[in-house]
Amino acid sequence: MQNKFYLKYGKRIFDFFSSLMGIFLFLPFYFIIGILIKIEDKGPILYKSRRIGQNFKPFYLLKFRSMIVNADKIGPLITKDKDPRITKIGKFLRKTKLDEFPQLFNVLKGEMSIVGPRPEVEKYISYFKKDYEKILSIKPGITDYAAIEFRNEEEILNKFKNTEESYIREILPKKINLYKKYLNEVGFITDLNIIFKTIWKVLRK
């Protein structure tokens, strides 16, 4: 009962005020990061990626651009460590997860949640559509169990020759299991626990 109430009302209230506070606190960093991105290659500051949200409704996920312009048109959607398309400032942003900060605006708009299954592109969802029928019953999030477990996903992918195929066959099924774990445990305490674990994981790196 408590989880149903939290999912229906509490989670959105928590997301709204948390994202608003986060945007306000990190606003100076937005300007600094934007300037650094512009200095390096003059391209756009933000990268918009079409993802599939709750109930299979598409939306555009926001990130600070960490790769060269049109990187998604000259290579796979999945990247591994030391991908030549990643910019110098992009390496730092990815390592610290600062590239994810603009997603607070997705949360504020109601397209995402602070905690929830990571939003995926339609191409990869199509391989596991049955699983995603359950997963996408809630909003995708900035962090979750899978985001913590695969904190160094790009490094993990280094050992595979075919990055995209390995992601679909090896990594995504494990992520899906972690998404389902979250669905079974979703609640305010669970969300707080995941947020603190995420912060700890980032700070330890």
Prediction pTM value:
0.91
pLDDT digits (tens, 9 = 90+) for 16-28: 999 999 999 999 9
| Tokens 């992918």 found at | 157
Residue 173: other Cβ atoms inside 10 A: 12
Q: Which residue range forms the structural domain that includes residue 55?
A: 2-204
Amino acid at 36: L
pLDDT tens, position by position, 108-159: 999 999 999 999 999 999 999 999 999 999 999 999 999 999 988 888 888 8
What b/e sequence results for 64-81 when a residue is b if at least 16 CB atoms lie within 10 Å of its CB, and e otherwise? Answer: bbbbbeebeeebeebbbe
Bridge partners (DSSP) listed for residue 115: 143
pLDDT score for 205 = 62
Domain count, the chain: 1
Residue 65: strand, helix, or coil: coil
